[in-house]
RNA sequence: GGAGAGAUGACCGAGUGGUUUAAGGUGCACGCCUGGAAAGCGUGUGUGGAUCACAAGUCCACCGUGGGUUCAAAUCCCACUCUCUCCGCCA
C-alpha cells in the first residue's frame, strides 16, 4: 500500500512507476476519484456529527432542569437519519478506497533498470568457476532417478502433476540442506529461527501483498478460509502485524523453513521436467524489519547472506537485477541470485531478495516508535536463503560424477553423514 | 464439537446510557533533586482521519468486528471473530 498523500501529490510519478512495471496506471485515476468523493463526504458527516453532539448536550441540560426537549430531540433525530444515510454511502466509498489502495503496485526504486520482462534483467555479477565436465552432464531429474532418490511417478500418483517424493539419501539431503541453511543464518548471519504456521489467514495474505490480486496463484482451504503459504515471507512478516516495535529492537531478522505451496497458475508448459517448478517445495526464507533509512544497506546484507549459501556450497552463480517489468507487484527493487545448471548451461533463479520499503508495513500495519516518540512504518525485506528444492537440483547437477554418483558438498557432510550419494534401490 | 468467562490506549486496569474531552497505575520522555545513579517530586505522553504547510489551532471517529435501539452508546440488544478455563475428540 502506498502513502495516499504520495498518490495525491506525486500522481504522475506514481503512474509512471506503475506503467514501468507493466501494469495499468488508470487505477490511480480511479483511486483519486474515490478519494475526492470520500473526503467531501467525510467533511459533511463530521459536521453533522458535531451538530448532533452539541444538541444532545443541550437535551441533557434541559432534562436536568426538567424542561421539555422534544423539539430538539426531533431535530437531532433528523440529523441522525441524515448521518445514517450518508454513512452508507461513505461505507461503500471506504470499501472502494481500501480495495483500490490494495491493488496499486509499489513504487519502483529509482535505480531499477527499465525493461519489459525477464529478458531485460541485468546480470550484475558472477561468482565461481564453471566446472569442466569430461562427460555430458545429465539433468538433475535423470541423475536423481538413476540414483533412486526421487520418485516422480509415485508423487504424481499421490497428488497429481508437479508433485514428487524424495527417497533415502534424497530425503536426507533435503533435510540436511534445511538444517544447514538455518544454522548458517542463525549462527553466522544473526537471524532468529522461527517455525511458523504453514496455513495463513486472508488478512495475513493481504498484509504481504499476495491478496487481493493474486488469489488464483494460491491454494485455498475454503471451509476455514485459510491459504497454504506460498513462501515463509507471509507468516514471518505477519509476525509483527498490527504492532508498534521499539526503535532499539530494529533490525529484527528472522529465518524460517517452510514448505511452500504454489498453484503455478499460468505456468503450464514451463519447466515441466524435474523439480524446478512444482506445487510444493521447501524454502528457507529470511525476513528483516528495519528502519527506513537503513533498508538499502540491509538489502545488500540480505543478498550477501543468500549468496553466502551458494559460495559455501561452491555452486557457480550470478546475481541478476530485475528490470522494471520483472520486479513484481509488491517490491520496490529485487535481486535474484541464480545458480548454474550445467545440463542446460544456464543460470536458474534460486533466491529472490527484495526491498518492499513501507509497502508491506502499511498493509500489515507494522510500525516502530522512534526514540523521540514518533511513530513510523518500518521497511520490510525478504530473500530466500535458499529455495531448498532448487538447491538440491543444483547440487545434483554440479556435483554429479561420470559414474552417476553425486558428491556431497563439504559443508553438508556433517549433516548427511556421507560424502557421496550412491545408487539406492 | 459442547459449556462458561472474557476482549478498553505501548502495557495493566477502572468505567453498565449523558462534564469520560476514556479515571488510575506502569512504562516512556523531559525537568527538579544528586558527585553520579536509584528513589522521590513535577510536567508531558493513545491511534486514525478532516481542515492544513505531514506547524499551531479547530473538528470527527476509534473501548474485538459488524449491525440495531436511543435525542444521546465503551456502557443496552443481536450476530460474528478471537482469547482463556472445563468437557469431548485427537498426533
Q: Which residue has the cell 495463513?
A: A200
Taking the CA atoms of residue A85, residue A88, residue A93 and residue A98 in that order, the dihedral angle to the nearest 10 degrees is 150
Cell of A74: 426531533
Q: Inform me whether the pLDDT recorded for A36 exceeds 80.
A: yes
Q: What is the pLDDT, as a whole number, of residue A330? A: 95
Q: What is the pLDDT, as a whole number, of residue A67? A: 82
Cell of A153: 511417478
Q: Which residues of A121-156 are buried (b: 16+ CB within 10 A; e: fewer)?
A: beeeeeebeebeeeeebbbbbbbbeebbbbbbeebe
| Strand B nucleotides where any atom sits below 7 Å of a protein CB | 10, 18, 28-29, 45, 47-51, 54, 59-61, 67-68, 70-72
Q: Inform me whether the pLDDT recorded for A425 exceeds 80.
A: no
Residues A267-290 have a mean pLDDT of 92
DSSP class of A391: H
Q: Inform me whether the pLDDT recorded for A276 exceeds 90.
A: yes
The active-site residue out of A277, A294, A311, A376 is A277
Q: What is the pLDDT, as a whole number, of residue A88? A: 86
Within a 10 A sphere around the Cβ of A239, how many other Cβ atoms?
Answer: 17
Quick one: pLDDT band at residue A401, thresholds 50, 70, 90?
A: very high
Quick one: pLDDT band at residue A367, thresholds 50, 70, 90?
A: confident
Q: Inform me whether the pLDDT recorded for A270 exceeds 90.
A: no
Lowest-pLDDT choice from A104-118, A209-223, A316-330:
A209-223
Q: Using alpha carbons only, give the angle A398, A167, A280 rounded to the nearest 5 degrees.
A: 80
Q: Inform me whether the pLDDT recorded for A322 exceeds 80.
A: yes
Q: What is the pLDDT, as a whole number, of residue A305? A: 98
CB proximity A273–strand B (7 Å threshold) = no
Q: How far is the CA of A203 from the C1' of B85 (A)?
A: 28
CB proximity A71–strand B (7 Å threshold) = no
Nucleotide nearest to A243 (CA to C1'): B10
Q: Inform me whether the pLDDT recorded for A373 exceeds 80.
A: no
Q: What is the pLDDT, as a whole number, of residue A306? A: 98
Lowest-pLDDT choice from A21-30, A240-249, A390-399:
A240-249
Q: Inform me whether the pLDDT recorded for A140 exceeds 80.
A: yes
Distance CA A107, CA A344 (A): 35
Cell of A246: 521499539
Q: What is the pLDDT, as a whole number, of residue A247? A: 83
Q: Which residue has the higher pLDDT, A308 or A270?
A: A308
φ/ψ of residue A340, rounded to 5? -80, 130
Distance CA A405, CA A387 (A): 23
CB proximity A117–strand B (7 Å threshold) = no
Mean pLDDT of chain A: 93
Q: What is the pLDDT, as a whole number, of residue A376? A: 85
Q: How far from chain centre, in Å, is Cα A247?
A: 23
Q: What is the pLDDT of residues A161-220, one digit of tens each?
A: 999 999 999 999 999 999 999 999 999 999 999 999 999 988 899 999 999 899 999 999
Nucleotide nearest to A81 (CA to C1'): B71
Q: How far is the CA of A9 from the C1' of B52 (A)?
A: 14
Residues A351-367 have a mean pLDDT of 93
Nucleotide nearest to A373 (CA to C1'): B29
Nucleotide nearest to A63 (CA to C1'): B18
The active-site residue out of A352, A354, A358, A384 is A352
Q: What is the pLDDT, as a whole number, of residue A225? A: 85
Q: What is the pLDDT, as a whole number, of residue A311? A: 98
Q: What is the pLDDT, as a whole number, of residue A371? A: 75
**A352 carries an active-site annotation:** yes
Distance CA A14, CA A208 (A): 20
Taking the CA atoms of residue A133, residue A136, residue A139 and residue A145 in that order, the dihedral angle to the nearest 10 degrees is -110
Q: Inform me whether the pLDDT recorded for A421 exceeds 80.
A: yes
A37 CB contacts (<8 Å, ≥6 apart)?
A: A93
Asked if A381 contacts A133 with a C-beta cutoff of 8 angstroms, the reply is no
Distance CA A323, CA A318 (A): 16
The active-site residue out of A262, A362, A363, A367 is A262
CB proximity A6–strand B (7 Å threshold) = no
Q: What is the pLDDT, as a whole number, of residue A245? A: 85
Q: Inform me whether the pLDDT recorded for A266 exceeds 80.
A: no
Q: Which residue has the higher pLDDT, A308 or A65?
A: A308
Distance CA A286, CA A283 (A): 10
A 366-425: CB within 7 Å of strand B: 367, 371-373, 375
Asked if A176 contacts A282 with a C-beta cutoff of 8 angstroms, the reply is no
Residues A307-333 have a mean pLDDT of 97
**A241 carries an active-site annotation:** no
Query: CA dist A244 to A208, A209, A369, A380, Å?
Result: 17, 20, 6, 14
Q: How far is the CA of A224 from the C1' of B72 (A)?
A: 40
Q: How far is the CA of A94 from the C1' of B46 (A)?
A: 24
Q: What is the pLDDT, as a whole number, of residue A318? A: 98
Q: How far is the CA of A166 from the C1' of B60 (A)?
A: 61
Provide the pairing of β-strand A333-341 with A353-357: antiparallel
Q: What is the pLDDT, as a whole number, of residue A69? A: 80
The active-site residue out of A294, A349, A369, A376 is A349
Quick one: pLDDT band at residue A355, thresholds 50, 70, 90?
A: very high
Amino acid at each position: 500500500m502506498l502513502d495516499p498523500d504520495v498518490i495525491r501529490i506525486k500522481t504522475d510519478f506514481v503512474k509512471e512507476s506503475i506503467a514501468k512495471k507493466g501494469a495499468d496506471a488508470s487505477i490511480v485515476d480511479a483511486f483519486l476519484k474515490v478519494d475526492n468523493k470520500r473526503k467531501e463526504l467525510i467533511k459533511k458527516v463530521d459536521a453533522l456529527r458535531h451538530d448532533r453532539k452539541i444538541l444532545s448536550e443541550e437535551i441533557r441540560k434541559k432534562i436536568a432542569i426538567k424542561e421539555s426537549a422534544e423539539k430538539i430531540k426531533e431535530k437531532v433525530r433528523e440529523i441522525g437519519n441524515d448521518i445514517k444515510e450518508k454513512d452508507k454511502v461513505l461505507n461503500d466509498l471506504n470499501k472502494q478506497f481500501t480495495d483500490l489502495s490494495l491493488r496499486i503496485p509499489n513504487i519502483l526504486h529509482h535505480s531499477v533498470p527499465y525493461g519489459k520482462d525477464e529478458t531485460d534483467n541485468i546480470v550484475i555479477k558472477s561468482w565461481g568457476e564453471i566446472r569442466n565436465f569430461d562427460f555430458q552432464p545429465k539433468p538433475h531429474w535423470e541423475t536423481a532417478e538413476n540414483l533412486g532418490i526421487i520418485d516422480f511417478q509415485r508423487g504424481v500418483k499421490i497428488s497429481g502433476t508437479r508433485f514428487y517424493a524424495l527417497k533415502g539419501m534424497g530425503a536426507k539431503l533435503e533435510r540436511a540442506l534445511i538444517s544447514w541453511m538455518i544454522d548458517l543464518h542463525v549462527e553466522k548471519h544473526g537471524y532468529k529461527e522461527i517455525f511458523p504456521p504453514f496455513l495463513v489467514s486472508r488478512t495475513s495474505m493481504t498484509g504481504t501483498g499476495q491478496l487481493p490480486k493474486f488469489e488464483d496463484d494460491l491454494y485455498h482451504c475454503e471451509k476455514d478460509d485459510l491459504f497454504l503459504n506460498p513462501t515463509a515471507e507471509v507468516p514471518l512478516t505477519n509476525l509483527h502485524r498490527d504492532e508498534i516495535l521499539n526503535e532499539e529492537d530494529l533490525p529484527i531478522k528472522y529465518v524460517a523453513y517452510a514448505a511452500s505451496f504454489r498453484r503455478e497458475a499460468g505456468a503450464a508448459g514451463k519447466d515441466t521436467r524435474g523439480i524446478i517448478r512444482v506445487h510444493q517445495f521447501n524454502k528457507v526464507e529470511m525476513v528483516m524489519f528495519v528502519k527506513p533509512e537503513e533498508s538499502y544497506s540491509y538489502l545488500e546484507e540480505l543478498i550477501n547472506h543468500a549468496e553466502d549459501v551458494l559460495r559455501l556450497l561452491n555452486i557457480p552463480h550470478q546475481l541478476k537485477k530485475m528490470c522494471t517489468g520483472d520486479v513484481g507487484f509488491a517490491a520496490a527493487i529485487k535481486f535474484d541470485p541464480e545458480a548454474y545448471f550445467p545440463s542446460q548451461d544456464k543460470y536458474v533463479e534460486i533466491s529472490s531478495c527484495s526491498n518492499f520499503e513501507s509497502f508491506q508495513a502499511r498493509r500489515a500495519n507494522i510500525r516502530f516508535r522512534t526514540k523521540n516518540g514518533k511513530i513510523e512504518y518500518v521497511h520490510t525485506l525478504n530473500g530466500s536463503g535458499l529455495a531448498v528444492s532448487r538447491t538440491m537440483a543444483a547440487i545434483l547437477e554440479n556435483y554429479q560424477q561420470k559414474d552417476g554418483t553425486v558428491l556431497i558438498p563439504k559443508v553438508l557432510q556433517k549433516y548427511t553423514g556421507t560424502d557421496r550419494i550412491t545408487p539406492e534401490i
